[in-house]
Homo-oligomer: A and B are copies of this chain.
Amino acid sequence: MPMITYREALNQALREEMARDERVLIFGEDVVAYGGAYGVTSNLVKEFGEKRVMDTPIAELGIGGTAVGAAMGGLRPVAELMTINFALLASDAIINHAAKVLHMFGGQMSVPLVFRMVGGGGAQLASTHSQSLEPMFAHVPGIKVVMPATPADAKGLLKSAIRDENPVLFIEHALLYRVRGEVPEGEYLIPLGKAEVKREGSDITLVAYSRSTLVALEAADRLSQEGIEAEVVDLRTLRPLDIETVLTSVRKTNRAVTVEEAWRTYGIGAEVASRIQEEAFDYLDAPIRRVAGVEVPLPYAKNLEQAAIPDAGRVVEAVKQLFARTAA
């Protein structure tokens, strides 16, 4: 299988879906000549022309709303909001419009669309450009929220998102674009709403998503050198949440730690931990711990930013504390 980057995998998914379905079009800020702020749409205009790859003004309210309208009109827009930080300006279009159409109007119309955006920190972009706001959107029924961790997942999930009949928020991670991995050529689909065990292990379950999955995998390798075999579950989709895969793992390992870049309070790990204790209470040998982003606006200075984002070290530490606790 060819080794390509996460960015190339996304570009490939977009190209394939546009070639497959005439109704798929892309619009957003600087997606044409610039190829997108992160280069994901580069060269697509050459192949599909400006009718299907359109620049927009800096108008997130407008981009959000036009995407909903275009979907109602029979298209399958892939609208780029650039970053999840700007998606707040489209949150009304997403939550009060896209998420409501199907149910509120009696099931007469669905809105198949994808909002692509980058999320996460680590690139020293300071506090308004480094957020992990996915918990805010994942809270809302009527939309789906997808966050791929690998190039292969990026391709397979984006293709499925574009084919989905519902509004899908597709959140990429700034620090993953250059990551390489094996990606199947051509038709390759990963169903939305399915988590994946990225590493098997018997002693503890690490639950993560997006870039944090790589952090969890690194932590698992380190733990393994100390005789602790961690299983790593990559949620991949935050809504609908595939808790079954998590529970199956925890019933085997009896322990869990969640890993996320988002702020801890009211974050993704909170829901995962709650579900685990609700549905696997008697299997737990220890409380579920959460490793999450420090609850501060992310600063520019590298040393401060790094201290605020979970790394393998913090995950290893949290796991060891759990074992120390149960040993004691």
Contact = CB atoms under 8 A, between A and B. Distances in A.
A135 B239 CA distance: 16
Contacts of A96: 85, 88, 128
Given A88-B95, A274-B274, A288-B277, A127 B103 contact: yes
A68 to B, nearest CB: 13
B91 A297 contact: no
A3 interface: no
Interface in A137-161: 138-142
Contacts of A140: 263
B265 A138 contact: yes
A228 interface: no
A268 interface: yes
Contact of A127 (B104, B239, B241, B271): B104
Copies in the complex: 2
Contacts of A266: 135, 138-139, 266, 268, 270-271
Interface in A211-242: 239, 241
Nearest to A325: B281
27 contacts: A61-B89, A85-B96, A88-B95, A100-B128, A103-B296, A103-B297, A104-B127, A104-B297, A135-B266, A136-B139, A139-B262, A139-B263, A139-B266, A141-B263, A142-B297, A239-B265, A266-B266, A266-B268, A266-B271, A267-B271, A270-B271, A270-B273, A274-B288, A277-B287, A277-B288, A278-B289, A281-B284
Q: Which of A133, A277, A290 has the most CB of B within 10 A?
A: A277
A328 B147 CA distance: 41
Contact of A281 (B61, B91, B287): B287
A99 B271 CA distance: 24
B269 A290 contact: no
* Top-3 shortest CB links A-B: A281-B287, A139-B266, A273-B274
Contacts of A290: 274, 278
Interface string A254-272: 0000000011011111110
Interface of A: 61, 85-86, 88-89, 91-92, 95-96, 99-100, 103-104, 126-128, 131, 133, 135-136, 138-142, 239, 241, 262-263, 265-271, 273-274, 277-279, 281, 284, 286-290, 295-297, 299
Contacts of A135: 135-136, 139, 266
Contact of A286 (B85, B86, B281): B281
Nearest to A290: B274
Nearest to A239: B265
A270 B265 contact: no
Given A100-B128, A265-B239, A287 B278 contact: yes
Given A271-B265, A273-B277, A141 B288 contact: no
Contact of A104 (B89, B126, B142, B273): B126
Contact of A139 (B128, B265, B299): B265
Nearest to A129: B96
Nearest to A85: B96
